[in-house]
């Protein structure tokens, strides 16, 4: 359920995109990159170091294929809603250029390839988590949850967090402590992240009939919810130091990253710069996952 700046950029209307451009847009490359980074971080914390290259590449390839296919299914299911939302205005022409049938066929081929690759080369546990991520994103979240509940961002974060367990289970037991902590961190990050997006695009969600938190509870309530969620992101990453494999240097970095994110959110929300606050959320996730990976991968080098 992640959204990134690359997936929400506003563009001017123009000619129908080429086949290659249309496929690229519908695969939501920003989201694919984010879940791939999360999957690799899950591998790193499970192994306590950089995982072997060949197994890591096979696991990441399955995540990329499944995420791209799921994004395409999501676009097809949301195509009528997307017509009413300016921030995703390029998706509908992309579907029209390719045809709904071709998009669905391509998406199913990608997802099937991901599951086969994972089952034969990664492991049963990782494949089960991969299937769970695909199903929970395309069916549970897209078709049901986000259309019915203003709290959809909470439970809807599961498919975005599962790549951590996919990566972790590829190198360790399925429910090892460190990947579970990182999974919880991803779950906690996604609600404030989406609420910031919904604050920035309230009117579009209103036109589309999607009951996001600002429309139901108001901007002030949503701002408090965002800051509360961001507060949890200051302390939760420290569990990877207390109970996981990360060092005190990671812990110090995590505190700086978390406090900077909370303070930035507070300032940007006060100035109603919601889009900038949304971008800062992406920066937070990139920085905290980068700190995890750098701490565990570079420690053996230096």
- What are the φ and ψ backbone dihedral angles of 199, each rounded to 5 degrees? -65, -40
Write out pLDDT tens, residues 70-79.
Answer: 999 999 999 8
Is this prediction's pTM over 0.75? yes
pLDDT for position 205: 93
Total H helices, total E strands in the chain: 18, 0
Using 70 as the pLDDT threshold, list the residues of the chain that sit under it: 1-15, 300-302
pLDDT in tens, 124-135: 999 999 999 999
E-strand ranges in 19-112 read none
Q: pLDDT tens digits, residue range 95-118? A: 989 999 999 999 999 999 999 999
Q: What is the pLDDT of residue 90?
A: 82
**Which one, of 56, 54, 31, 32, lies nearest residue 42 by Cα?**
56
* pLDDT given at position 76: 94
State the Cα–Cα distance between residues 172 and 165, nearest whole angstrom: 10
- Domain encompassing residue 194: 5-299
Condensed to tens digits (0 to 9), the pLDDT of residues 125-169 reads 999 999 999 999 999 999 889 999 999 999 889 999 999 999 999
- The count of domains in the chain is 1
Residue 137 has a pLDDT of: 95
The domain that holds 279 is classified in CATH as 1.10.600
Helix, strand, coil proportions of the chain in percent (round to 5)?
Answer: 80, 0, 20
Residues 255, 259, 262, 267, Cα dihedral to 10°:
-160
Whether the Cβ atoms of residue 127 and residue 118 lie closer than 8 Å to each other: yes
């Amino acid at each position: 359920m992640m959204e990134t700046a690359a997936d929400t950029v506003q563009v001017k209307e123009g000619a129908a995109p080429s086949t290659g451009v249309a496929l690229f847009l519908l695969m939501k490359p920003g989201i694919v990159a984010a879940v791939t980074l999360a999957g690799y971080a899950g591998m790193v914390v499970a192994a306590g170091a950089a995982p072997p290259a060949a197994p890591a590449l096979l696991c990441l390839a399955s995540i990329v294929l499944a995420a791209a296919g799921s994004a395409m299914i999501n676009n097809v299911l949301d195509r009528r809603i997307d017509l009413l939302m300016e921030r995703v205005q390029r998706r509908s022409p992309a579907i029209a250029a390719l045809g709904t049938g071709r998009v669905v066929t391509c998406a199913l081929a990608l997802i099937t390839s991901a599951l086969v690759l994972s089952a034969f080369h990664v492991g049963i546990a990782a494949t089960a988590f991969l299937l769970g991520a695909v199903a929970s994103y395309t069916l549970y979240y897209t078709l049901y949850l986000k259309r019915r509940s203003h709290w959809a961002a909470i439970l809807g974060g599961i498919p975005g967090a599962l790549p951590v367990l996919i990566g972790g289970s590829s190198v360790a037991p399925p429910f090892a402590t460190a990947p579970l902590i990182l999974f919880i961190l991803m779950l906690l990050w996604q609600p404030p992240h989406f609420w910031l997006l919904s604050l920035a695009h309230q009117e579009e969600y209103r036109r589309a009939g999607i009951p996001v938190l600002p429309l139901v509870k108001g901007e002030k309530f949503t701002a408090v919810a965002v800051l509360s969620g961001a507060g949890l992101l200051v302390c939760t990453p420290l569990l990877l130091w207390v109970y996981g494999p990360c060092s005190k240097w990671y812990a110090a970095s995590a505190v700086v990253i978390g406090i900077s994110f909370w303070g930035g959110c507070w300032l940007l929300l006060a100035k109603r710069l919601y889009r900038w606050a949304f971008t800062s959320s992406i920066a937070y996730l990139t920085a905290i996952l980068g700190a995890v990976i750098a701490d565990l991968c570079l420690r053996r080098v230096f």
